[in-house]
């Protein structure tokens, strides 16, 4: 069954990974041409116009976009976090629900396999794909950065792992939500909405101390890229919280799915 | 030996009734015709047996023990053909059969080959390219491949041509001879009457009649055709259900038995009288009035 699951989910994995790679490849290729001394001067002037809170929201107070690595640390990583968030959310919401949506569940349920084993197979394959997405894209960026200039290797490796701490909770939350639904078309809005709401809350929380509490409602808080850039270390508290959220929602999904009316 | 027993099964979807009270018993080697019109509760009953939906109350026993439809060891002994066969479109028939085989702890390839030959299935075709009838045939193979003890078929002949229907019925008779117990759901009584031993009629979620097929055929129901100038009076007095009427001839569905009928008709001037066996379809319709 695992083999079948890998095959079924391979296409969407390749599509999402390609989207990331193509966009970043374009950035790496054109970056040397757009960042010249003149454009850098104008960019610096432009940055002064933005309030520091806004720059902080995009890590631009910590990293200058005068190099590809600087761009990656600020805007680039935001982009990676959003894309991996969307991918893992959509995977979570469709990996099990697809069987109901396509009505193949009636066949699958007739096979001698426990419901919990069906779920386990699907979760294992999904998590492997999420990890593969982060690792393969991390390697791609690593190689690209090696070609385009000098960078802090340890800092980069730690940074490239952070999307996992966002992707896994997004996956498990969406998996849990999907156990209440019967059609995948309803889940696309929920998956995207959850990612963008989380992202907006994360940005807003950086803008003012008055709304800082919003960060507690955002999954993106778990990808503590600022800590990696400032201290060259991963915030272990965030990692633990991320894993706990993931485990809770996966466990809840097992409980719900075992009782679910599948038709 | 009782293979499947259902006691007072009830399923409600919120306030909406799925089935109200379904009780039935299948002995080893029985072919049980589960008959009812669309929406009577046949598929709901079957899906509850298969564990796809949760029962509201009642009990289901398989081989004398409460049925745990999530137990793989139990599922290995049950074959299921849903009324609407939905399979993985991206697979070929052969890939799907291989995939199916991988779930069983025994070699089921021999039976697969036999069934593929009997049902004339092209294994190289992709599932998405199959016609409704061919998809049904693939579903039949999947339900039978592992030689189940209990076979549950929900409207198995829909989409099959008459020749394939006959082939399927022959396969079912062979399965019965091997001791397989079969629950055969259909809304066409005449279709199941040739293969089933026992029939259960379900209406509005309740089993309204259950009997051996020969007893059902022996029921008092007959057609009664009368030619008489007194037709309108006979119609008024006998109060029987009119099947057909033209000029001075009228056709009734008679449910009062022949002796009783003759006694009543002695009072009228009858030109022609014809008493015939009722068709199973009319009998079926009569149950659902």
CA–CA min distance A124, chain B (Å): 18
Query: Does residue A172 or residue B284 have the better pLDDT?
Result: A172
- Considering A151-155, A213-217, B14-18, B115-119, the range whose residues carry the highest mean pLDDT is B115-119
Comparing CA positions, the residue from B3, B43, B40 lying closest to residue B24 is B3
Q: Is the pLDDT of residue B187 over 90?
A: no
Which ranges of A149-235 would DSSP assign to H, the alpha helix? Answer: 153-161, 163-178, 185-207, 225-231
pLDDT at A61: 63
Cβ contact B72–A113 (<8 Å): yes
- Note down the domain range covering A221: 2-259
What is the token pair recorded at A6? Answer: 């890998």
Among A48-52, A84-88, A122-126, the minimum mean pLDDT is found in A48-52
For residue range A193-239, what is the model confidence (pLDDT) as tens digits?
999 999 888 888 877 778 778 888 888 888 877 777 777 888 889 99
> Among all residues of chain B, which has the CA nearest to that of A98?
B88
Comparing CA positions, the residue from A172, A130, A121 lying closest to residue A3 is A121
Interface test with B, best of A110, A116, A259 (most B CBs within 10 A): A110
Comparing CA positions, the residue from A132, A162, A12, A169 lying closest to residue A72 is A162
Domain ranges, ordered by start, for chain B:
2-217, 222-287
Name the strand (E) or helix (H) holding B26: strand B16-27
CA–CA min distance A183, chain B (Å): 15
Q: Is the pLDDT of residue B218 over 70?
A: no
pLDDT at B267: 82
Domain count of the fold of chain A:
1
Which CATH number applies to B2-217: 3.90.600.10, 1.10.599.10, 3.20.20.140, 3.40.50.300? 3.40.50.300
Q: Is the pLDDT of residue A117 over 90?
A: yes
- Residue where the block lists tokens 């399979």: B87
Q: How confident is the prediction for chain A on average, in pLDDT?
A: 86
Residue A103 in contact with partner chain B when CB distance is under 8 A = yes
């Amino acid at each position: 069954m695992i083999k079948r699951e890998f095959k079924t989910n391979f296409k969407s994995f390749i599509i999402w990974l390609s989207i990331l790679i193509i966009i970043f490849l374009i950035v790496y290729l054109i970056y040397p041409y757009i960042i010249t001394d003149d454009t850098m001067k104008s960019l610096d002037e432009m940055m002064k116009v933005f309030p520091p809170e806004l720059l902080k929201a995009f890590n631009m107070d910590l990293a200058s976009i005068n190099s590809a690595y600087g761009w990656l640390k600020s805007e680039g990583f935001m982009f990676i976090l959003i894309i991996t968030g969307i991918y893992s959310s959509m995977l979570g919401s469709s990996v099990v629900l697809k069987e109901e949506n396509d009505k193949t569940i009636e066949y699958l349920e007739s096979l001698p396999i426990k419901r919990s084993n069906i779920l386990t197979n699907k979760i294992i394959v999904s998590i492997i794909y999420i990890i593969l997405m982060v690792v393969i894209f991390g390697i791609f960026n690593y190689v690209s950065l090696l070609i385009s200039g000098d960078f802090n290797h340890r800092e980069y490796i730690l940074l490239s792992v952070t999307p996992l701490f966002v992707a896994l909770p997004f996956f498990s939350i969406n998996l849990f939500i999907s156990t209440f639904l019967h059609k995948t078309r309803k889940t696309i809005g929920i998956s995207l909405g959850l990612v963008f709401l989380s992202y907006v809350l994360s940005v807003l929380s950086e803008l003012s101390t008055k709304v800082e509490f919003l960060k507690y409602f955002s999954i993106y808080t778990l990808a503590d890229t600022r800590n990696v850039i400032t201290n060259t270390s991963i915030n272990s508290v965030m990692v633990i919280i991320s894993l706990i959220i993931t485990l809770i929602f996966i466990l809840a999904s097992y409980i719900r799915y075992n009782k679910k009316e599948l038709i | 030996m009782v293979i499947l027993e259902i006691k007072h099964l009830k399923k409600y979807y919120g306030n909406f009734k799925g089935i109200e009270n379904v009780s039935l018993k299948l002995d080893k080697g029985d072919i049980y015709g589960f008959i009812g019109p669309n929406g009577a509760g046949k598929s709901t009953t079957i899906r509850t047996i298969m564990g796809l939906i949760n029962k509201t109350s009642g009990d289901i026993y398989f081989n004398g023990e409460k049925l745990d439809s999530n137990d793989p060891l139990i599922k290995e002994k049950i074959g299921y053909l849903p009324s609407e066969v939905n399979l993985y479109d991206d697979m070929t028939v052969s890939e799907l059969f291989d995939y199916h085989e991988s779930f069983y702890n025994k070699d089921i390839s021999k039976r697969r080959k036999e069934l593929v030959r009997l049902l004339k299935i092209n294994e190289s075709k992709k599932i998405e390219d199959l016609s409704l009838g061919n998809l049904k045939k693939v579903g039949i193979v999947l339900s039978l491949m592992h030689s189940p003890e209990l076979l549950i078929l929900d409207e198995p002949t829909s989409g099959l041509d008459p020749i394939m229907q006959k082939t399927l019925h022959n396969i079912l008779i062979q399965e019965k001879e091997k001791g397989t117990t079969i629950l055969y759901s259909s809304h066409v009584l005449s279709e199941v009457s040739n293969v089933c031993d026992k029939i259960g009629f379900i209406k509005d979620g309740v089993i309204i009649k259950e009997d051996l097929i020969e007893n059902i055929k022996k029921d008092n129901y007959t057609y009664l055709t009368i030619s008489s100038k007194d037709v309108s009076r006979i119609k008024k007095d006998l109060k029987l259900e009119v099947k057909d009427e033209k000029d001075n001839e009228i056709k009734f569905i008679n449910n009062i038995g022949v002796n009783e009928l003759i006694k009543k008709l002695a009072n009228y001037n009858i030109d022609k009288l014809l008493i015939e066996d009722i068709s199973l379809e009319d009998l079926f319709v009569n149950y659902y009035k």
